[in-house]
Amino acid sequence: MRHFSIIALLALGALGASMQPALSQEPIKIGVMFPLTGPLASQGVPERDAIKQAFDEVHDVVAGRKIELIYEDSAAKPDIGLTKTKALVERDNVNLLLSELVSSVGAAMAPYVAEHKIPWISTVALASLTRAQKSPYIFRFVPSSYQYALVAANSGKKLGWKKVYFIGWNAPPARESYQVVKKIFGAENVVDAMFPNVGTTDYAPYLTKMDAQPADGIFAAMWGADAPRIVEQWAEYGLNKKMPIFGIASFTSEELLTDMPPQAVGVRSAYTYCGTLDTPENKKFVDEFKAQHNNAMPGSYMYMGYMAAKMVIAALKDINGKVEDKDAFIDALSKVHVKGPMGEASFDEHHGMVANFYELTVEKGADGHLQNHCGQLIPQVRDPYAMFP
Amino acid sequence: MNTEPRQRNNAACGLAAILILGMLALPYFLSSYYLGLAIEMMIFALFAMSLDLLVGYAGMASLGHAAYFGVAAYTTGLLALRLGWNVWLALPAGVLMAALTAALFGLLALRTRGSYFLMITLALSQVAWGIAFGWRTLTGGDDGLPDVPRPALNLPLHLSWSLAGSTAFYYFVLVAITVATLLLIRIVISPFGFALRGIRESEARMLALGYNVWRYKFVAFVLAAVFAGFAGCLYVYYNRFVSPDYLHVARSAEVLLMVILGGAGTLIGPAVGAAVIVLLQNLISAYTERWLLILGIVYVFVALFAPNGLVGVFLEYRASRIKRHVKRLNS
């Protein structure tokens, strides 16, 4: 059955190709660099795969031109990432970049990309890409730290929280998130702000401190393996009965839920992706991803990689594949509106992401696994430039 | 009898001349990407040669050499970025800072030998890494310092030569590395260099001969840091940013592997090692994600079959040929 449909698609593709003589043109080369080795490979590899999935849907052909994805590994190190970016641009002559998730690599790439005038659709959540390091060639399809923290802080406020704790990585995204929480709740209402290092294994000192002086809730800004770890210890210390956690950004992202303890049920967050949302676009995305990844759910990173690729495809269609005209491509990309798994998305005037957010609560799914319950939709969230310049 | 070394010297000079001419012509053959790789190879060659002064000549294996590379890079980067210092001021300031750091670390590290020396240099470099990582307001933490400007060479008489283009920067690095290499050669063949080799072979004998061994080791330690720092300054101008990875222990280990892979105790060996590793890193990774595996296999093979490094293999081959030649003459 599956084979037949593939053959049918191939036949259709061949038919389409025969009608479009433009296919004889040179392929559009897209540089796709992510951390494919090292501790962040667990996010980098599936995000790269999600980008590939978006191009597979159009059979690697846009406006009659073949798409060629060229992969590189940044190893999550800025100097390696920069060297690899140079390789993609100067050796492989890519037309555009669709790359990266590590903020230090992104910060190192930005000046180079701007200088060489290579359109870069960044999946790095670096606020500076649409602020201090802004360039007409840089687009950011992932919310900035101010953008996602503002949504989280407002949602926490709506829950009736007055006094809060903030705990987050000793790194820029968490520090910036803290600025937002401080602004929304007032500095006097943040009982304490704590910044453990990335990869901290023991949160006991922080959790006992919170236990001693209770507040309405905890804002947590840490990701990767650290999010499940702090939830586990928070439950171990019995804090789950005293103070709820509101996770900032991808704290309860689907790929992290598999490592969370059962007590994680009820942990909240508010972010760009909700795996259980019932739309045909999301069903298509999830089913295809699961089929290729051993039944694993896609998370927010994969969603944003997939959507960033869809934005590129839409813009390429608008300019009829003439990617060599960079100004036209940039213009098309900044105007493009794409309906994806979570609804419509676009870029703002500074090339930051505009997309729907959902309030999420961890719940137990029918199959016993943890999943996100899609709560209130927060439509078309924009980067708050005026509030956080 | 006397003419033979001179002949060999002439041959070496001829080879060097061909090499330099080839390097001068390189921008006419290579695309900007490969030119960038050539720049990186030269910078890491100098970095590896500076470590070889310690490892190969003085017999002190350091696992913290990236500290000086990184300290110099941060100093130059910060001065160029924040204060807008030009290359004539920012670069020497970086090198000076590396020397001062080495003088401080040397006072502590040189009390030890062998594996203890290895461990204390490792620990000290981790201190420097910790400062770069933690002192967010100054160093930008793990995001590093992006946007360091490429320098312009402001010469007297209002001449200014921008190094923003890759060809101009390539020649700038070529000149800088050539001068540094000549200085290193001069150091190695000086009485000081021979004293270091003596210390490597037997510290006790050198002490008995009346050498102040500690002072020799200290000067070697600082000199190695000066050249490493110079490489670091060039690297920050090349990459246009600095991050704590510059002084991470992984980088120290990498440069030590360059020295061992190429062959410690010769200057050309580490340069070859650096070139091989930079090439492998950049060319293989374009084809496979598992490039670290291939690099690992290369290390294992060199450790098993060429314990004296790639250049060591060549030298042994030549030595065995001479030996055979002598034997034939005798019979």
- pLDDT for res A339: 94
Token digits of residue B162: 């921008």
Other Cβ atoms less than 10 A from the Cβ of B193: the count is 18
**Backbone dihedral angles phi then psi of residue B179, each to the nearest 5 degrees:** -60, -45
Residue with tokens 């967010």: B136
Arithmetic mean of pLDDT, A312-325: 94
- pLDDT for res B296: 85
- pLDDT for res B292: 75
pLDDT greater at residue B5 or residue B209: B209
Residue A374 predicted with pLDDT over 90: yes
Pick from B32, B141, B281: CB nearest A90 = B32
Helices (H), chain A: 2-19, 41-57, 78-86, 103-116, 145-158, 172-185, 204-212, 226-236, 254-257, 280-292, 300-318, 326-335
Q: What is the pLDDT of residues B288-305, one digit of tens each?
A: 767 778 888 888 888 888
Arithmetic mean of pLDDT, A230-255: 93
B323 — pLDDT class (breaks 50, 70, 90): confident
Pick from A37, A78, A103: CB nearest B241 = A78
Looking at the structure, give the CATH architecture of the domain made up of residues A146-271+356-381: 3-Layer(aba) Sandwich (3.40)
Residue A383 predicted with pLDDT over 90: yes
Residue A15 predicted with pLDDT over 70: no
Between B114-118, B160-164, B179-183, the lowest mean confidence (pLDDT) is in B160-164
Q: What is the pLDDT of residues B228-258, one digit of tens each?
A: 999 999 999 998 889 898 999 989 999 999 9
- pLDDT for res B259: 93
Does any CB of chain B come closer than 8 Å to the CB of residue A93?
A: no
Sequence-separated (6 or more) residues with CB below 8 Å from residue B253:
B63
Does any CB of chain A come closer than 8 Å to the CB of residue B285?
A: yes
- pLDDT for res B7: 63
Q: What is the pLDDT of residues A172-228, one digit of tens each?
A: 889 999 999 999 999 999 999 999 988 889 999 999 999 999 899 999 999 888 999
- pLDDT for res B157: 63
- pLDDT for res A10: 46
Residue with tokens 């100098």: B46
DSSP notation for A258-274: TTS-GGGTT-EEEES--
Q: Where in chain A is the domain with CATH 3.40.50.2300?
A: 2-143+278-351, 146-271+356-381
Cα distances (Å, whole numbers) of residue B53 to A77, A277, B274: 28, 63, 15
Q: How far is it, in rounded angstroms, from Cα A301 to Cα A41?
A: 12
Chain B residues in contact with A79 (beta carbon < 8 A) = 239, 241, 243, 245-246
Could you report the predicted ipTM of this complex, rounded to two decimals?
A: 0.74
B6 — pLDDT class (breaks 50, 70, 90): low
pLDDT greater at residue B154 or residue A151: A151
Residue with tokens 């030890």: B112
CATH topology of domain B9-330: ABC transporter involved in vitamin B12 uptake, BtuC (1.10.3470)
Report whether A274 contacts A281 (CB < 8 A): no
Chain B residues in contact with A91 (beta carbon < 8 A) = 31, 33-34, 286
Other Cβ atoms less than 10 A from the Cβ of A128: the count is 20
Sequence-separated (6 or more) residues with CB below 8 Å from residue B236:
B73, B74, B76, B77, B80, B94, B148, B242, B246
Which residue in A has a C-alpha nearest to residue B40's C-alpha? A83
Residue B31 predicted with pLDDT over 90: no
- pLDDT for res B200: 93
- Does domain A2-143+278-351 bear CATH number 3.40.50.2300? yes
Q: How far is it, in rounded angstroms, from Cα A117 to Cα B224?
A: 39
A41 — pLDDT class (breaks 50, 70, 90): confident
Does any CB of chain A come closer than 8 Å to the CB of residue B116?
A: no
Give, to the nearest 10 degrees, the angle between helix B3-25 and helix B166-189: 160
Q: What is the pLDDT of residues B169-198, one digit of tens each?
A: 999 999 999 999 999 999 999 999 999 999
